Structure 1
Amino acid sequence: MGSRYMPHIGMVALASQQYLAIAFIYSAIPVILRGNGASLELVGLYSTVFFAFTINFLWAPVVDRWSLNRLGLRRSWILLTQVATTTVLAAMAFLNPKTDFVAIFLVSLALATIAATQRIATLGYIAEALDSGERPLGAALLGWGRVVGHVIGGAVCLQLIEIVGWRPALLGLAVLLAVFAGWVFAIPEPLLCKDRWRSPLRLSIFAILRNNSLWTTAALIAPGVIGVAVAFATMQLRLVDLGFAAADIGWIAALSNVVTYTIIAPLTSAILARMAPQRGLIWGCAVLAIGFGALAIIDRYIGVRVSAVGSVGFVFAALAVQHVTFTNWFLGLARPGKAGTDVTFLTSAMSAFALVGFAPSGFIAARLGYGVTLIVPGLGYALSAVLAAALLRQSDTAAPEEELMIGRTH
């Protein structure tokens, strides 16, 4: 029984380590910068450090085909990136967040690049270690691992920085990451990878560029991802402007993340298990569009502090639904033997769209107000739902025609 569920436990552990560093970048550092007087525009632009997630599909074929050692294809890359993350985070500890903005930006970019590489290996591991019926559960477990990483990298780290200071907190975080790295020796290498660890490197970038289903999927999720990125990038900054302490902001985000991924993500997984992935995509986007529309209306009639805290919870709930829904859809589209590359291309597209939302988020909040940042994701998800429905209708129409053509040839 233990060996049967080891991959599931491993997914939580691997995602925790990976997203611990990511959460530190997107949750802790922006709060620290804003608390030290950085403008909304500057903090919004800092989010572009996640650019690595928009282009990591370029080296995904390398991670998909080239094993680094006898640990195997997936595990060797996971171990390398875990060690690299620990090293880079320890180096960041010796920078000053009050004066070394450029250096922190560059080190954060390196940290994001390493995390983006690890995500290729992790997604490939999930796609090959689980069968199609287990993938919604795998997506939910990956989300739960993100929660653990977010709590440690966001709330716990902010609390430690307030108590012991920047350098001791980051060095402690680096030590914890080193401990997480040992988990890679406890998980089995997927059977599909064991015979490929010596496979020659075959780049498949051009195959991706010719894959219409991947491009179509990327296009239909774009509006929703861009919209929620605007809300996500500004939700904690709103709390800063309202006078919340940095540690309190970290715990508000962390608890919101825990609650939503404990309740919303498993519920979404259970619902998706009962429907086709594309119909689940339509359902998820439609529910989120209605939810953000209602939130934008309610925001105008309740206390600003209550609304700000509630918005954080709802944005994380939206991300939980989006994560499980989109990941389940992506895993279903992946080609055998190229799961890491295909899924990474789609997650890279999501990251690119998120950057489109991140970059102007500070300007939108500063010029139009935080309330507008709740309207944008509602409109985006509504458009994504319409596009997904149109694609499904087109697929349903094309299927009978293909069957008719096959019948005529026989």
Structure 2
Amino acid sequence: MFRLIFSPRMLVSFLMGFSCGVPLLLTLSVLQAWMREEGVDLSVIGLFSLVGLPYTLKFLWSPILDRFTLPLFGRRRGWLLLFQILLMAAIAGLGMTRPAVHPWMVAVAALLVTFFSASQDIVVDAFRREDLSDNELGLGSSLYVNGYRVGMLVAGSGGLILADHFTFHQVYLFMALCLLPGVLTTLLCREPEVAEGTPTTFREAVVQPFVEYFQRDGALLILLFILLYKIGDQMASTMTTPFYLDVGFTKTQIGAVAKLFGFWATIIGGLVGGVILLRLGIVRSLWIFGILQAVSTAGFSLLAFLGPSLAGLAAVIGFENLTGGMGTAAYVAYMASLTNKKFTATQYALLSSLMGIPRVLASAPTGFMADSMGWAFYFFFCALIAVPGLLLLRFAGPLAAGTQ
């Protein structure tokens, strides 16, 4: 087991995850802080959330990446190297813009960052599915997720800390250089071998992935499971910060415990989840982690009764982030196991886009719900709403290849 955990392929999964995690917050919290510092109107800052659309729509151009192979480095590594270089240039270019003077130029540069970042995600997800065997997929997915979170921490927290000592232009240039480990990983790793072959026509690349998927038994049931498995966890996490403040915790306590302590709990959860996935397989792990996620969500209801107890906050946050990290690792591995290796990029891009729908739609009414229900009952409801997803797992789990 230790030989597998510390194998080159697992290191590649982690480093590629890091490379995918760095760009995300550079067009969200870091960019928002820069624009606010420059005096940009809040309404304009709010509209900038639309530059994240490529992450949701990435399935639209993923067939191109399945169909065509660039002249150098192979189908996956060739596209990946191209997008990483373009992404570094786009991040550096975003850092050269002037938000207060030309916000439209900032929007164009940020849109280029998200487009190349989403394209990198497509190729990395396909690479991981094709490079790892079915029994390695769970552990590899957990290491990818952990690498992604470390990349987000470096860009989000690290970027804001650096901005207190350097200009935002310099911060964005430094963040562009943080993608160099990903470039080196692409150059040094091997190109995955795909025995299933590749699409030979553009029509086959665009149409066949959807035809192949929806011809499967239980295809719609699986999609419904993907929508519902983490919906309770996502609804709860949307309202945690207002909850902490209402209970009586200070912003310093929230930052220290909920953010930093919670981050490391999530990392540990991902690692532990990866080992359990290796032992038990994806479906059994989904059962265990799903139940633990629901129990940890109910823990917020208990905290509502305890009040501003720092020990209670640490316990609830630690357990919730631990189980959340485990559940995400199994969830990502499950989606990867659903893909046909001939159409990996397109099918995984579609499924991962679908994964984001509950985070947007189900989270929209959470403020009204919490206000009308009260915090204790709201989080108990979030725990209960996880049950339909678990019930669907009884039918959806055995339908995916390589999940046992």
> Which TM-score applies when normalising by structure 1?
0.78
The worse-fitting range, judged by mean Cα deviation, of 199-208 and 282-291 is 199-208
Whether the aligned pair in 1 keeps the contact of 2:222 and 2:396 (CA below 8 Å) is no
The Cα of 1:345 is off from its aligned counterpart by 1.8
Could you tell me which residue of structure 1 aligns to residue 343 of structure 2? 338
Could you tell me which residue of structure 2 aligns to residue 257 of structure 1? 263
Residues 54-89 of structure 1: CA deviation (Å, up to 9, x unaligned) = 322222222122112311111112112212221222
Whether the aligned pair in 1 keeps the contact of 2:294 and 2:386 (CA below 8 Å) is yes
In structure 2, the CA distance between the partners of 1:359 and 1:264, relative to structure 1 (3 Å rule), is same
Q: Which has the higher contact order (CA 8 A, sep 6+)?
A: 1
In structure 2, the CA distance between the partners of 1:278 and 1:257, relative to structure 1 (3 Å rule), is same
Whether the aligned pair in 2 keeps the contact of 1:34 and 1:237 (CA below 8 Å) is no
Give the 5 Å matches for 1:65-84.
65-84=67-86
The Cα of 1:27 is off from its aligned counterpart by 5.1
1:384 aligned onto 2:389? yes
Could you tell me which residue of structure 2 aligns to residue 152 of structure 1? 154
Give the 5 Å matches for 1:72-151.
72-95=74-97, 107-151=109-153
Equivalent position SS for 1:163: coil
The worse-fitting range, judged by mean Cα deviation, of 207-216 and 309-318 is 309-318
RMSD: 4.2
1:58 aligned onto 2:71? no
Whether the aligned pair in 2 keeps the contact of 1:81 and 1:114 (CA below 8 Å) is yes
1:295 aligned onto 2:297? no
Whether the aligned pair in 2 keeps the contact of 1:78 and 1:184 (CA below 8 Å) is yes
Equivalent position SS for 2:69: coil
Residues 197-248 of structure 1: CA deviation (Å, up to 9, x unaligned) = x954432445425245443222113234444334444546777997647xx9
The worse-fitting range, judged by mean Cα deviation, of 250-259 and 128-137 is 250-259
Give the 5 Å matches for 1:215-226.
215-226=220-231
The Cα of 1:167 is off from its aligned counterpart by 2.3
The worse-fitting range, judged by mean Cα deviation, of 285-294 and 32-41 is 32-41
Whether the aligned pair in 1 keeps the contact of 2:339 and 2:348 (CA below 8 Å) is yes
Percent identity of the aligned residues?
Answer: 19
Structure 2 regions of 5+ residues with no counterpart?
400-404
Partner amino acid, structure 2, of 1:115: S
- Cα distance in 2 between the residues matched to 1:33 and 1:363: 29
In structure 2, the CA distance between the partners of 1:48 and 1:294, relative to structure 1 (3 Å rule), is farther
In structure 2, the CA distance between the partners of 1:135 and 1:184, relative to structure 1 (3 Å rule), is same
1:22 aligned onto 2:24? yes
The Cα of 1:163 is off from its aligned counterpart by 2.3
Equivalent position SS for 1:337: helix
Whether the aligned pair in 2 keeps the contact of 1:228 and 1:376 (CA below 8 Å) is no
Q: 2:185 aligns with which of 176, 183, 186?
A: 183
The Cα of 1:100 is off from its aligned counterpart by 7.2
Give the 5 Å matches for 1:132-281.
132-178=134-180, 180-192=182-194, 199-201=200-202, 202-205=204-207, 207-208=209-210, 210-212=214-216, 213-235=218-240, 244=251, 249=255, 253=259, 255-261=261-267, 263-281=268-286
Could you tell me which residue of structure 2 aligns to residue 406 of structure 1? none
Whether the aligned pair in 1 keeps the contact of 2:297 and 2:379 (CA below 8 Å) is yes
Whether the aligned pair in 2 keeps the contact of 1:45 and 1:358 (CA below 8 Å) is no
The worse-fitting range, judged by mean Cα deviation, of 10-19 and 23-32 is 23-32
Whether the aligned pair in 1 keeps the contact of 2:63 and 2:205 (CA below 8 Å) is yes
Equivalent position SS for 2:286: helix
Residues 15-36 of structure 1: CA deviation (Å, up to 9, x unaligned) = 1111111143455456777999
Whether the aligned pair in 1 keeps the contact of 2:48 and 2:107 (CA below 8 Å) is yes
- Cα distance in 1 between the residues matched to 2:37 and 2:230: 27
Whether the aligned pair in 1 keeps the contact of 2:135 and 2:281 (CA below 8 Å) is no
Residues 169-202 of structure 1: CA deviation (Å, up to 9, x unaligned) = 1222122224542331111111228975x95443
Q: 2:325 aligns with which of 320, 324, 327?
A: 320
In structure 2, the CA distance between the partners of 1:140 and 1:48, relative to structure 1 (3 Å rule), is same
Residues 383-410 of structure 1: CA deviation (Å, up to 9, x unaligned) = 21122235469x7xxxxxxxxxxxxxxx
- Cα distance in 2 between the residues matched to 1:294 and 1:189: 45
Could you tell me which residue of structure 1 aligns to residue 402 of structure 2? none
Could you tell me which residue of structure 1 aligns to residue 353 of structure 2? 348
Equivalent position SS for 1:192: coil
Structure 1 regions of 5+ residues with no counterpart?
396-410
The Cα of 1:135 is off from its aligned counterpart by 1.1
The Cα of 1:253 is off from its aligned counterpart by 3.0
The Cα of 1:306 is off from its aligned counterpart by 7.2
The worse-fitting range, judged by mean Cα deviation, of 32-41 and 21-30 is 32-41
- Cα distance in 1 between the residues matched to 2:103 and 2:385: 32
The Cα of 1:338 is off from its aligned counterpart by 1.9
- Cα distance in 2 between the residues matched to 1:178 and 1:240: 39
Q: 2:290 aligns with which of 278, 285, 307?
A: 285
- Cα distance in 2 between the residues matched to 1:113 and 1:371: 40
The Cα of 1:107 is off from its aligned counterpart by 4.4
> Which TM-score applies when normalising by structure 2?
0.79
Partner amino acid, structure 2, of 1:18: C
The worse-fitting range, judged by mean Cα deviation, of 45-54 and 167-176 is 45-54
The Cα of 1:327 is off from its aligned counterpart by 1.8
